[in-house]
Structures are given as C-alpha cells and as structure tokens.
Copies of this chain bind each other. A is one copy, B any other.
Amino acid sequence: MSTAQRIRGVLSPVLTPFEPDLRPAADRFLRHCRWLLDQDVGLAVFGTNSEANSLSVAERLRLLDTLLEAGLPAARMMPGTGCCALPDTIELTKRAVAAGCAGVLMLPPFYYKGVSDEGLFRAFAAVIDGVADERLRVYVYHIPPVSQVPITLTLIERLLKAFPGIVAGVKDSSGDWKNTQAMLERFQPQGFDVFAGSESFLLATLRAGGAGCITATGNVNPGPIVKLCRQWQSADADHQQKALDVTRAVFGAYVMIPAMKAAIAAQSGRADWATVRPPLVELDEGQRAALDAALAAVNFRMPNAASLA
C-alpha cells in the first residue's frame, strides 16, 4: 500500500452504545457506524471516546465482527488496539489486520508511568513483531492528558526508522499545537500521517500538510467537520473552523462522552443512548437541560437522527 492510498480525512472514535444493563448494544453500534460512514466519517472504533478501555478484548472483537458481518468496509476502519497487556494488544491488532482494516490506533501500555522511550519502543516493537504482517499500519496514539504516557518525537523517529511503512502515523491528542506542528514538520514529509486529535486543529493541520483529524465530536457534528476537511482551501475556511469551535465548546463544557451520548439520546429520541459504563456517569437532569439549550442556541441538529434510535 503506498502512502497515497492510506486513510485520510475525518475519523471519529465511535461512541459505544450500551444497554441499560451495561452490555454493548451491537445493533445501535452498527447503526451509528453506518450513519457515520454515510457522512464520510471513518470509523476509529474503540478509541478513548468509545469507552473502549472499559470493554474487554472479547467485547471489542464481537463488536468488530458485527460491523464486518454487516458488510461495512474495513478499509474505512482504524480500531483502537493498544492495551496495558502485550498479548491483548497483539490479539486485537492481529484481528484488525486480518480483517483488512486501514490501520490500528495504538495507545502505549498505560498503567506504568514514567517509563522510558526504550521501554515504549520495545512495547511497540513486540506488538509489530508479534503481529508479523506486512499489511499492518500502526497509528500511534499520543494522549498524555489521559494515558499519562506520552509518545515523544524521539520515540516516533526511532519507530519510523525501525519499521518504515508499518509505522504509518499518529493521532495527536496532546491539545498542544506546538507538538502537532513539530510532528507535521519532522515526520509528515516522510509519509507519516499526522491526524489532529480534534477538529479544533483541523484547518491548521491540513494547511501544514497533515492527514486530517480523528475527533470525538465527529460522532455528533460530522457534516460540518467533513465539509471543512474538503473545503480547507476555500475562502471561508477560517469561518467554518470558528463555527466548528463553537459547537465543540458546547460539548466541551461537560465530560465529553456522556454529553455526546445525551445529545444523541435527545436527537434520536432513544433515551438509553445516554448510558455509560462506570467510572463514567451520565449527565444529570440539570446538565441535560443546559446542554439542550446550549445546542439549540447554536442550531445544532443531527441529520437523520431517527436512524440512530
């Protein structure tokens, strides 16, 4: 696969709907994935905002199978596969590669803190060697505010040198534009695809030659984000970016996952979309009302939301 054929554009860490008893709701998950694909959003299933780290390996595999069996295109999928335990990461990654997924989004092992670049290099290398498949495309996942285990530029440099073609890119969720910029300048010219960790930096990333963004709010506001991704060279691109920022800020005033799920519950009319797994907690009634009002004020509406019910 040449770098030109690789996945680009807007992807979303797909929210995982749960039944009231906390089991994953495979049917609603499938419908949500279809809805995203219809709007040209790629499926970064099992990301942070998917509550994937609250799912067992078996649960992730069953949900992936649900999508594949329904005929959804693996070429539009980038499942999150990075776990604390090496055998789990290898198992999930193998299955994603075997299914033909565009790539995998890989957290570093995140329990032990203050680990060295040498240790993280060995962790990624052990996965790549364990999967042992030339089709593997690894997108490393830099999200220090949550994982507390950063992926440094030095580590990326070493991984790129050791595994050219396999180490394919990064999602930078540091929230630090200077870091994204450094990645874009140093690695994008080598065909290492830099995805911004949210649409907040979408325009800046595309202007600097980056690949797109992988963003939580793609779950709820896909149309306008995809539009900017397509029209970033247009005259009103900055205006579009500002509008995206306004909508994102509404969700960002809450814990994002329950806020997005509450919005889908409200828009689709299906109350159990609001369910989250512990340690997360649903928005309370007051928060829900405030969120509804804030979304109404920015004319937020999810197209064809009834199909998500």
Contacts and interface: CB of A to CB of B under 8 A. Distances in A.
Given A54-B85, A56-B85, A111-B146, 8 more contacts: A22-B86, A53-B111, A56-B57, A56-B87, A59-B87, A110-B111, A115-B279, A122-B278
Nearest to A145: B113
26 contacts: A53-B85, A54-B84, A54-B111, A54-B112, A55-B87, A56-B57, A56-B85, A56-B87, A56-B91, A59-B85, A59-B87, A84-B84, A86-B278, A108-B279, A109-B278, A110-B111, A111-B147, A112-B146, A112-B279, A112-B280, A113-B148, A116-B279, A119-B279, A119-B281, A126-B278, A149-B279
Nearest to A110: B111
A65 B13 CA distance: 37
A22 to B, nearest CB: 7
Interface of A: 22, 48, 53-59, 84-88, 91, 108-113, 115-116, 118-120, 122-123, 125-126, 145-149, 277-281
A113 B74 CA distance: 31
Given A59-B87, A278-B119, A54 B110 contact: no
Nearest to A89: B56
A110 B87 CA distance: 19
Nearest to A113: B146
Contacts of A149: 279
Given A111-B146, A281-B116, A126 B22 contact: yes
A182 B229 CA distance: 54
Contacts of A55: 85, 87
A119 B281 CA distance: 6
A110 B147 CA distance: 9
A147 B57 CA distance: 20
Contacts of A22: 86, 126
Contacts of A53: 84-85, 109, 111-112
Contacts of A57: 56-57
Contacts of A125: 278
A100 B257 CA distance: 38
Nearest to A257: B112
A279 B148 CA distance: 13
The 3 nearest A-B residue pairs measured at CB:
A53-B111, A123-B278, A119-B279
A123 to B, nearest CB: 4
A255 B39 CA distance: 49
Nearest to A112: B279
Contact of A54 (B58, B109, B280): B109
A261 to B, nearest CB: 14
A81 B91 CA distance: 21
A54 B108 CA distance: 11
Among A118, A123, A149, A280, max chain B CB count under 10 A is at A280
